[in-house]
Amino acid sequence: MKAKRGFTPDIALICALCLLPVLWLLWRFFQNDLGVNPVETVVRQLGVWGLRLLVLGLALTPLARLLRQGRLIRWRRPIGLFAFGYVTLHLMSYVVIDQYFDWAQIWSDILKRPYITFGMVAFVLLIPLALTSFNAAIRRLGGVVWRNLHRLIYVIVPLGALHYFLLVKADKTMPLVYAAIIAILLGWRVWEWARKKV
């Protein structure tokens, strides 16, 4: 049976759930409940949710295999696009409300602060994946080229985790948790690749 495509109820639910973090941030903003450093809270929370969604997107294929629920694969596109949205908002909040469009300072940060360097590289690599996430792009590029391009995600997600690890100055527990999850997911991919080669 051919899999259903389009904006089905499960996809609608995924999209609604992905909107909740930014709506929660907006609610906290209007309630004046963003802590002693509201700018840092906004910038960091947007980035953390971007990373969470990227990791979730990476986990969907092994979860689909483990649970024998092929429909989970269909969730990768909306989750990936929302991840890109959160990462974009993370970057824009840094540019607009943290640096006030001070491009000289932003460029200096990119060159001199490794966590910003890695984060910017991850964002730049994520752009072509977001732009080619649609069926028309798959047809235009061809399946092989498209799949090879989207393997960049195996570089992007670790870079995002490294960005987060270097950013956090005190308790690095959560960055290490994300790093461990990513290592397991990438290890599973390597195992799958090696198994198919045997």
Class of residue 33 by CB neighbours under 10 A (exposed 0-12, middle 13-18, buried 19+): exposed
User: Within a domain: residue 4?
Assistant: no
pLDDT confidence bin for 7, thresholds 50/70/90: confident
DSSP symbols for 150-178 = HTTHHHHHHHHHHHHHHH--S--HHHHHH
Tens of pLDDT, residues 32-55: 999 999 999 999 999 999 999 999
Tens of pLDDT, residues 119-150: 999 999 999 999 999 999 999 999 999 999 99
User: Within a domain: residue 79?
Assistant: yes
Task: Please indicate, yes or no, whether the overall pTM of this predicted structure exceeds 0.95.
Answer: no
User: Within a domain: residue 43?
Assistant: yes
User: Within a domain: residue 149?
Assistant: yes
User: Within a domain: residue 1?
Assistant: no
Q: Is the pLDDT of residue 1 over 70?
A: no
What range does the domain containing 122 cover? 9-197
User: Within a domain: residue 3?
Assistant: no
- The sign of the torsion formed by the CA atoms of 61, 67, 68, 73 equals negative
Whole-angstrom distance between the N-terminal and C-terminal Cα of the chain?
A: 30
User: Within a domain: residue 63?
Assistant: yes
Number of domains in the chain: 1
User: Within a domain: residue 147?
Assistant: yes
Average pLDDT of the segment spanning 171-177: 95
Tens of pLDDT, residues 62-112: 999 999 998 899 999 999 999 999 999 999 999 999 999 999 999 999 999
